[in-house]
Amino acid sequence: GAVVSQHPSRVICKSGTSVKIECRSLDFQATTMFWYRQFPKQSLMLMATSNEGSKATYEQGVEKDKFLINHASLTLSTLTVTSAHPEDSSFYICSARDIGAGGNQPQHFGDGTRLSIL
Amino acid sequence: GQNIDQPTEMTATEGAIVQINCTYQTSGFNGLFWYQQHAGEAPTFLSYNVLDGLEEKGRFSSFLSRSKGYSYLLLKELQMKDSASYLCAVKDSNYQLIWGAGTKLIIKP
């Protein structure tokens, strides 16, 4: 089945640090990847849609200069949380959909990155 | 606005059956998904419905009524490992996924 690899799984760092999270589709190509954030006991919140070869589409209220997204290839998207602060601590999850699949195919999720800013 | 409603929490007994309901109001409809999410983990895909009716997959079944904007996930022969959150998500007319807040299912021995 389709596998999405997300790395790192956990990050603990000081306030002001920039953190990069990678999302790779291992056995399929994805023109579109999605970045979500999930706070404890809350639902998934879509942050942005990452498009290969073009700019990401950010959801309302998400700062594009703080959450930098680069979709460099059909199998890799990165999210960089710049100058992270404690309020950015959350569970970040990426997902991707097979380029060859129809619109009815599910998104495949990475294992998530738990970010803790001290 | 777009809205998906699910119960916040449900409790059931090991070996029993539980039905988790989901109602939705979205701008268009292009399918409904159910995902399972264990605490601290990413969601995993369970089922997909785009036509009315019941889709069965092992111990799990999912039902859809588009006219009623309603779906349910049915879990049979509950096991302790089924304790998780169950997320209902609808793909709208723009093929964007709209997520429900999830239903936390607690299984008791």
A70 touches chain B (CB under 8 A): no
Q: Kindly state the DSSP code that residue B39 receives in the 8-state scheme.
A: T
A42 touches chain B (CB under 8 A): yes
Give A104's contacts in chain B (Cβ within 8 Å): 30-31, 48, 50
> pLDDT (tens digit, 9 = 90+) per residue, A13-44?
999 999 999 999 998 888 889 999 998 878 88
Percent of chain A having pLDDT more than 70? Answer: 94
CA distance A80 to A21: 6
> pLDDT (tens digit, 9 = 90+) per residue, B21-80?
999 999 999 999 999 999 888 899 999 999 999 999 999 999 999 999 999 999 999 999
Type of residue numbered A115: L
- In total, the C-beta contacts within 8 angstroms joining chain A to chain B are 42
State how far Cα A18 lies from the chain centre: 15
Determine whether the interchain pair A104/B42 forms a contact, defined as Cβ–Cβ distance below 8 Å. no
CA distance A26 to A89: 27
Determine whether the interchain pair B50/A91 forms a contact, defined as Cβ–Cβ distance below 8 Å. no
* Owner of token pair 């606005």: B1
